Amino acid sequence: MASYIARRKFLATLLGGAAVAWPFAARSEQVDRLRRIGVLTGFSENDPEGQRRVTAFLARLRELGWTDGRNVRIEYRWGAGDASRIRAHAAELVRLEPDVILVNSSSVLRPLQQETRSIPIVFVQVSDPVVSGFVASLAHPDGNTTGFTC
């Protein structure tokens, strides 16, 4: 149960909204254990847009008190638009058992959902995730997947 609670707190921090309301004692848990974030993107590693998004993601994490290598470890996987590569990276990230996985599109979300129903997945830039079958509803996504639409 403690692991579940810690994972939920970490996910809330990642999303940013609840971080301000947390008691200081909960924030001290960040140093107790190195958290792990998996990032699976359809971009190639040298794509300027993909790099801009990673930079923005890292900046927001720093604002929330998370620094790669200090209290969080981020594992990046770059799909480069290749479906077989994306599937392989999805399986690899699931084997690493991160606390949460961030994805940037439907093309990487679907294979990742096929790999895990237990690791929390946060998506961005997925148009109509309800119609696509990724979540039950935006208000109550159900399962291990939640996120933001375009």
What pTM did the predictor assign?
0.76
Q: What is the mean pLDDT of residues 98-118?
A: 92
What ranges do the domains of the chain cover? Answer: 2-147
* CATH code for the structural domain at 2-147: 3.40.50.2300
pLDDT tens digits, 81-106:
999 999 999 999 999 999 999 998 88
pLDDT in tens, 17-72: 333 333 333 444 445 689 999 999 999 999 999 999 999 999 999 999 999 999 99
DSSP for the chain reads: -HHHHHHHHHHHHHHSSSGGGS-HHHHHGGGTS-EEEEEEESS-TT-HHHHHHHHHHHHHHHHTT--BTTTEEEEEEE-TT-HHHHHHHHHHHHHH--SEEEE-SHHHHHHHHHH-SSS-EEE-S-S-TTTTTS-S-SSS--TTEEE---
